[in-house]
Structure 1
Amino acid sequence: MSKTYPLFVKRDLDGFFGLFIDNLVQLLLILGLCGGLCGMTGEYSSLLFKHIFPGAALSILIGNLFYAWQAHRLAAREQRSDITALPYGINTPSLLVFVFFVMLPVYVESQDPVLAWKMGLIACLGSGVLELLGAFVASRIRQHTPRAALLSTLAGIAIGFIAMTFTLQIFHKPLLAMLPLGLVFIALFARTRLPLDLPGGLLAILAGTAVAWLLTALAAAGVTLPDWAANSQMSVSQLAAQRDTLGLYLPLFVGGEVFQLLANWSDWVGYLSVIVPMGLFNIIGSLQNIESAEASGDRFPTAPAMAANGIGTIVAALFGSCFPTTIYIGHPGWKELGARAGYSTLNGIVVVLLCCTGLIGLASALIPIEAGIAIVLWIGMIISAQAFQATPKDHAPAVAIGLFPAIAAWGATVMMGTVLAANGTSLQEMLTANPATEVNGFLVVGLLTLERGYIFTCMILSALVANLIDRRFRAAGIWALIGAILTLTGLMHSFQLQGNLVDYWLIGQQTAEKTWLFSARGIAIGYTTIATLCFLCGMSPQSKSSGH
């Protein structure tokens, strides 16, 4: 191994803690959602500890090792020591969508956690196959897509689904989270050396964990804590209870079950309306993250990076995990941290250790998530900034418009969660009574319309504006036509609503009775109108002018 690019550098610790916290959040989501919604508790908890977690760990390890190897290879080829491996882990949107729109409906209908798990495997496998196929066309898509269109989507996701999510948690438990936040900001923005020259991420987690257990000890000693401090305690009983899950759980090949279910195509074909959109979104998301890495100076080959992503997801399905993996958002943040390839390798090893020994529950009971989220918040800030810094200055408006659909998607997600929690008037009842219903001045149907396929919408609007700024009318018109086509197929904007569950409404898809439908044909006509205007402007003699 090259001395100029070692297996591990000190700053890989910071990168590891950030990436690990990100993966830990996904694993805890799986534990909570599969247990709470899909019946994987009691005797059926073995589906989690014997199949899902070991399968997920294997897929994460394969991906982490591949991307670390890819970083070493690029460093050797370019004779550089500052290459940062692509971050990788479980895909959060796919996790949520597959639970709520594949596994949960199967469990509600059959009351069989095993069948819900098997259908999740089919969904995961389908997503992986699509991601693998996408590797063969990804390079061409990158060549014809403005950088602003690729990076603005990531910035929107970073603002709404990373930075905002973790900011709310920080200010919910400030005693735990604000000390780590200050340490991370001082270490990474001011570049100040911390005590014992410890990495900022490590010190932040140690400090947050120490505060949490200090408050717990004070409460145990009889000290009455005010409400704003009491909510930051840890649970000793929960920590003790996690001992029951300890054991050795090696990944088990379940391809036989998968292929047996595949043969009964009528059992799963109805879920293609969920599997296909999510697979396509994962392709575009991975593509955007590779572009983000190149904007930071690390040019990884597109096809191998995306193929490894697809293979990792296929491995997950064949070894028991229902949840696709993906190239994570955040490469510029890890690079800014000083992480190289070691953080990726270390993350894979630790995730395997936790998932294959049952320690995942023990780790979650020992370390408060708030102690580490400052690192992930910082990553979100860096990604958001990169969208403007790494694109031509003239393309700033294109970046800005690309943020809007992702922010609308965040708003829709918050609104849907609130309505579900309130358990009152459903979204379907609300929109049936008045399709123009507003919540605090925001159109409900507008939020849902922009939320459906928002990754595509961000990309198309940004590419359209970037090409118009450059007076490339034909290219702008083509992007508008792509928007029309994706809208007509149902991959953007159209949706169906049953109660509070929002799902895609794909072209030709049969819908259940008493379903509220929103057809986006009018939006498709709108995109076509914009395309026509662009083509007409392209034919005008004035379009040859260099003026703006």
Structure 2
Amino acid sequence: MPSDAHTSFRWWRAGDLDGFFGLFVDNLIQLILIVVLCGNLLQMPGELVFGRILPGVAVSLLVGNGFYAWQARRLALATGQAQVTALPYGVNTVSLFAHVLFVMKPVLEQSHDAELAWRVGLAACLGSGVIELAGAFLAGWVKRITPRAALLATLAGIAITFIAMDFCFRIFAQPLVGLLPLAVILLQYIGRLRLPYDVPAGLVAVVLGTGLAWGLGRMDTAALNAAFALNPQWPALYLGDLLEATFSNYLLQFLPVIVPMGLFNLIGSLQNLESAEAAGDRFGVRSSLAMNGVGTIAAACCGSVFPTTIYIGHPGWKKMGAGAGYSVANGVAITLLCLLGLVGWVAALVPVEAGAAILLWIGITIAAQAFQTTPADHAPAVVVGFFPALAGWGLLMLESGLRAAGANVETVGLTALTQQLPIGGLIALERGFIFTSMIWSALTVCLIEARYRAAAYWALAAAAISATGLMHGYAIAGGAIVNAYGPATTWPFVAGYAAMAAAFWMGGWRASGEK
């Protein structure tokens, strides 16, 4: 069978073009965020953003995408599968915002030194990579003891909120540009209708959306012309800057941000591996997560301040027919954009709405997978896992609305907001929601299967994590909601989860007595 796979494996499949467009648009959005946040918010000069950070991003994405493509080929040859889809990979969005807002921005405000803020960002990126790399050796055990519904429910919640809803809103904000490309995607991937000459739906969607946007006058020709400026850059090693910041007091100061972000990346990547396995591609846990950490460490060494991660979306790319080629193409394309200084030009050329339909489809696929690949009676556990992600999305919408009005949670006040909604509960559920979602789904599965004492152990795990503040801990400071660590602010949750554990344990005792 391996020999058959060797003859049937192809580096490029028809679905790789669709997969490339979807993953490329997703990564392009991260690059645009990097340019905007580092340039405008952190006031970093172009030499830092385009000369150091983006080339570092290019290195990490080229190395990571190349590895996951090779890994897909290796799995195909070992198992005889003709189509194995590479794990999608890119800059972690959550860490991007966290490192900008809660690491580099405070350093800039304290020192008024953008160069120092960049160096501390390198140290934060390195810390995240070390956590991801070290966690790769424990993640297999976590995967074995955690029900599939618990691992997939978190992804499904994120897919519905931060992916599907966001791009759905973009489509309906520009219906003349977004709805026709969406129709093409739905026809092929839900209606299973092949397009003439087997033209990939993703290609048609992006070309249609771009053509409509320009034809309707929704794009800016002047901005496109201004953005085109070839400025070749080459990656370099910044080990001196990295080590200087790593062994400074700044690293200790920002460990409360670095550690949870590293754990967030680790658990999220593990869940994406489970999602890939549920779709039919069983990759090695240790090697996959270790490479994720190595990619982030490579980013830090080469000037990028942003961790990378295994992306959500593998089942969607697989249904599109993507294999290994889409990963290689994405790595090469992103590398060229970063090294040639053309990120702004592509962003001015292709509207986000042109690729929004592909990413909306990915969100739908991930959410559906959580129900389709778990036992039918575990469906309540999947639904329970949605709530923390919905809280995270709801809080994001609330904060975005307040900022647009020139306010924030602190200026409006929790008391005033509580009159409209239970804001305290919303924030508490959002803090560390990836852990909350997984634990609540896991204990729900245990209850469904009448494993009451196992449910008690999961409740105790929730109490222990809450005691650290990684779950539910928050404070309002400087107009922002920040993490608060230690049991001082989370003791009600610690006590509540302990009481739940006692109730579940007593339930197990009663159930065993009735047998």
Which band: TM-score by shorter chain?
Answer: over 0.9
**Partners of 1:450 and 1:200 in 2: CA distance:** 38
Offset of 1:373 from its aligned partner? 1.1
Offset of 1:298 from its aligned partner? 0.8
Structure with a larger share of its residues in helix = 2
Please, which of 315, 323, 331 is the counterpart of residue 314 of structure 2? 331
User: Please, what TM-score do these two structures have when normalized by structure 1?
Assistant: 0.91
Please, which of 368, 378, 390 is the counterpart of residue 361 of structure 2? 378
8 Å Cα contact 2:66/2:331 also seen in 1: yes
8 Å Cα contact 1:103/1:116 also seen in 2: yes
Offset of 1:196 from its aligned partner? 3.7
Offset of 1:377 from its aligned partner? 0.5
The answer to whether 1:428 aligns with 2:410 is yes
The answer to whether 1:474 aligns with 2:453 is yes
Q: Paired residue for 2:506?
A: 536
**Partners of 2:485 and 2:511 in 1: CA distance:** 40
Offset of 1:459 from its aligned partner? 0.4
Q: Paired residue for 1:513?
A: none
Indicate the SS of the match to 1:373: helix
Equivalent positions of 1:292-303 (< 5 A) are: 292-303=275-286
8 Å Cα contact 1:287/1:302 also seen in 2: yes
Q: Paired residue for 1:136?
A: 137
Offset of 1:500 from its aligned partner? 2.9
Offset of 1:417 from its aligned partner? 1.4
**Partners of 1:56 and 1:438 in 2: CA distance:** 44
Q: Paired residue for 1:17?
A: 21
Query: Residues 387-414 of structure 1, C-alpha deviation per residue, up to 9 Å, x if partnerless?
Result: 0111011111011100001001100111
Equivalent positions of 1:495-534 (< 5 A) are: 495-507=474-486, 519-534=489-504
Q: Which portions of structure 1, spanning 4 or more consecutive aligned residues, are displaced by more than 3 angstroms?
A: 429-434, 541-545
Q: Paired residue for 1:27?
A: 31
Letter in 2 for 1:15: G
Cα 1:543/1:196, change in 2 over 3 Å: farther
**Partners of 2:358 and 2:497 in 1: CA distance:** 40
The answer to whether 1:486 aligns with 2:471 is no
Q: Paired residue for 2:345?
A: 362
Cα 1:544/1:38, change in 2 over 3 Å: farther
**Partners of 1:247 and 1:50 in 2: CA distance:** 9
Q: Paired residue for 1:514?
A: none
Letter in 2 for 1:428: E
Indicate the SS of the match to 1:372: helix
Offset of 1:370 from its aligned partner? 0.7
Offset of 1:428 from its aligned partner? 2.3
Indicate the SS of the match to 2:254: helix
**Partners of 2:192 and 2:329 in 1: CA distance:** 24
The answer to whether 1:252 aligns with 2:236 is yes
8 Å Cα contact 1:429/1:499 also seen in 2: no
The percentage of aligned residue pairs carrying the same residue is 50
Please, which of 456, 459, 476 is the counterpart of residue 438 of structure 2? 459
Offset of 1:59 from its aligned partner? 0.3
- Structure 2: gaps spanning 5 or more residues: none
- Structure 1: gaps spanning 5 or more residues: 217-232, 509-517
8 Å Cα contact 1:537/1:543 also seen in 2: no
Indicate the SS of the match to 2:340: coil
Please, which of 9, 15, 27 is the counterpart of residue 5 of structure 1? 9
**Partners of 1:268 and 1:375 in 2: CA distance:** 39
**Partners of 1:93 and 1:7 in 2: CA distance:** 31
8 Å Cα contact 1:487/1:523 also seen in 2: yes
Indicate the SS of the match to 2:377: helix
Offset of 1:461 from its aligned partner? 0.4
Indicate the SS of the match to 1:423: coil
User: Please, what TM-score do these two structures have when normalized by structure 2?
Assistant: 0.97
Offset of 1:197 from its aligned partner? 2.4
Letter in 2 for 1:427: V
Equivalent positions of 1:145-224 (< 5 A) are: 145-216=146-217
**Partners of 2:450 and 2:259 in 1: CA distance:** 34
Cα 1:8/1:188, change in 2 over 3 Å: same
Q: Paired residue for 1:237?
A: 222
Indicate the SS of the match to 1:377: helix
Q: Paired residue for 1:49?
A: 50
**Partners of 2:478 and 2:401 in 1: CA distance:** 13
Offset of 1:241 from its aligned partner? 1.1
| CA RMSD, 1 decimal | 1.5
**Partners of 1:523 and 1:33 in 2: CA distance:** 35
**Partners of 2:514 and 2:191 in 1: CA distance:** 48
8 Å Cα contact 2:122/2:245 also seen in 1: no
Offset of 1:344 from its aligned partner? 0.6
The answer to whether 1:96 aligns with 2:97 is yes
Query: Residues 307-341 of structure 1, C-alpha deviation per residue, up to 9 Å, x if partnerless?
Result: 00000000001101111000000111111111011
The answer to whether 1:390 aligns with 2:391 is no
